[in-house]
C-alpha cells in the first residue's frame, strides 16, 4: 500500500511562487519526500494543482492501493463532488483533477483535519 501525505503553501501575491510538499511511503518505506516550487497560481486552485502534481509523481504506482492524506476540508469536498462553489477556475481545475484521478482505480483521498491523531501524524511527517 502506498500512503502519501500532501501539503501546499499558496501565495497571496501574484508573481510569487507556490510550494507543494509531499511525502510518499510504500509499506512504511520512504519513497519520496519533496518540496517543489511552482509559478503563481490563484490561491483557490493551489490544492487541486498540488493533488495533480502528486498524481503525476505516483503514475508508476497507479495499480497499487493508494491513500492520499490532505489537511483541507474544502479540497476534500471538491474531490468528493459535494462542493457548491460557482468559481469557474475551481470548477475547471477540478474537472482536470477528476480526469487524472480516474486513472487511479484504487485511490482514496482522506481529510485528516477532523481527526486529532491523524492530523498529528500528518503534521509530523510534513516536518
> Residue 75: CB partners within 8 Å, gap ≥ 6?
47, 48, 51, 111
pLDDT digits (tens, 9 = 90+) for 35-91: 999 999 899 999 999 999 999 999 999 999 999 999 999 999 999 889 999 999 999
Ordered DSSP codes for 28-90: TEEEEEEEEEE----GGGHHHHHHHHHHHHTGGGTTS-EEEEE--HHHHHHHHT------HHH
Predicted pLDDT at 123: 87
Mean per-residue pLDDT over the chain, rounded? 92
CATH fold, domain 2-126, is: Nucleotidyltransferase; domain 5 (3.30.420)
Domain boundaries, the chain: 2-126
Q: pTM for this one?
A: 0.92
d(CA 54, CA 51): 5
Amino acid at each position: 500500500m502506498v500512503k502519501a501525505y500532501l501539503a501546499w503553501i499558496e501565495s497571496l501575491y501574484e508573481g510569487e511562487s507556490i510550494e507543494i510538499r509531499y511525502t510518499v511511503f510504500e509499506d512504511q518505506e520512504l519513497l519520496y519526500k519533496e518540496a517543489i516550487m511552482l509559478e503563481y497560481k490563484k490561491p483557490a486552485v493551489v490544492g487541486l494543482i498540488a493533488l495533480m502534481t502528486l498524481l503525476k509523481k505516483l503514475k508508476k504506482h497507479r495499480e497499487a492501493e493508494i491513500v492520499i492524506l490532505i489537511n483541507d476540508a474544502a479540497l476534500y469536498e471538491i474531490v468528493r463532488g459535494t462542493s457548491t462553489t460557482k468559481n469557474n477556475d475551481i470548477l475547471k481545475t477540478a474537472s482536470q483533477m477528476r480526469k487524472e484521478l480516474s486513472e487511479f482505480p484504487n485511490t482514496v483521498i482522506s481529510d485528516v483535519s477532523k481527526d486529532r491523531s491523524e492530523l498529528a501524524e500528518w503534521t509530523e511527517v510534513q516536518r
